[in-house]
């Protein structure tokens, strides 16, 4: 949460009053043609109104009306490889930062570099996911808003993440394997079909569709920008109340 300091309020008060006083002095001089009178009026106004402005700002800082406390949350984007998780997650994080929230971006490709020894068998995937979910929950407890995007193919993975995170938003990017293969710029699906990549989700390893996600977006019919806006709108309704 960002709180305005007294120093900032005071500087704002001075800068505003300087501009306003010069305006008042100009008007007085134009009307009465008396420079001395303009100076006296401007001086009195400057002192009086800068005090009033400063007090007004400090009082409003203490008034809770119109203020809301936004609790940190974890947005967990799941879906098949090449379904658009990274791109959509980046757009959502960017929009939330624009609104002044402190956001940490967690993505499958980047996090894997932290645990290069972790494999892709089911037990290894589950362990890796638990590490990430725990990391996300720690960030959330420390006031950081998290946007995470992971294949997280098994329901038990996502249940674990939901259980340890206080405000958990599961986003399922619904897409079929054929469409994801067309979007796959890295050729991972083709390599998996040739047997070069083992335990590849959607080919040699299953993807268990989420049972009760907060948001389901059919990315076969929705572009990334629209999908991101849909997620942000949900966040606005549930957490930002706008």
Measured distance CA(126)–CA(128) in Å, rounded: 5
Q: Which one from 15, 149, 152, 204 is the annotated catalytic residue?
A: 152
- Token look-up 């406390």 returns 69
The neighbouring-strand residues paired with 103 are 145
**Which tokens hold the place of 98?**
């624009």
Q: Can you tell me whether residue 103 is helix, strand or coil? A: strand
142: Cβ contacts below 8 Å, ≥ 6 apart: none
Q: Single out the residue of 75, 2, 65 nearest to residue 238, CA to CA.
A: 75
Measured distance CA(177)–CA(49) in Å, rounded: 67
DSSP state of 202: T
Measured distance CA(97)–CA(242) in Å, rounded: 16
DSSP state of 201: B
Establish whether 152 is a catalytic residue: yes
Residue 118 CB coordination number (10 Å): 15
Q: Single out the residue of 179, 178, 148, 180 nearest to residue 164, CA to CA.
A: 148
Q: Which residues are catalytic, by number? A: 152
């Amino acid at each position: 949460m960002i709180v305005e300091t007294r120093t900032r309020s005071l500087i704002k008060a001075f800068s505003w009053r300087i501009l306003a006083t010069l305006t008042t002095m100009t008007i007085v001089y134009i009307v009465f043609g008396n420079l001395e009178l303009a100076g006296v009026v401007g001086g009195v106004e400057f002192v009086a109104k800068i005090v009033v402005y400063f007090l007004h700002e400090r009082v409003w800082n203490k008034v809770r009306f119109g203020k809301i406390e936004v609790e940190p949350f974890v947005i967990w984007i799941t879906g098949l490889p090449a379904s658009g998780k990274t791109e959509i997650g980046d757009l959502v994080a960017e929009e939330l930062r624009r609104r002044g929230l402190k956001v940490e971006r967690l993505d499958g490709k980047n996090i894997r570099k932290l645990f290069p020894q972790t494999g892709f068998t089911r037990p290894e995937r589950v362990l890796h996911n638990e590490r990430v979910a725990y990391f996300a929950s720690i960030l959330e407890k420390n006031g950081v808003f998290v946007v995470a995007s992971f294949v997280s193919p098994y329901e038990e993975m996502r249940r674990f993440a939901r259980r340890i995170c206080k405000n958990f938003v599961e986003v399922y990017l619904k897409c079929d394997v054929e469409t994801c293969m067309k979007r796959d710029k890295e050729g991972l699906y083709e390599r998996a079909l040739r047997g070069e990549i083992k335990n590849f989700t959607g080919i040699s390893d299953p993807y268990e569709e989420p049972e009760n996600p907060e948001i389901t977006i059919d990315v076969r019919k929705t572009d990334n920008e629209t999908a991101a806006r849909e997620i942000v709108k949900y966040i606005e309704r549930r957490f930002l109340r706008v």
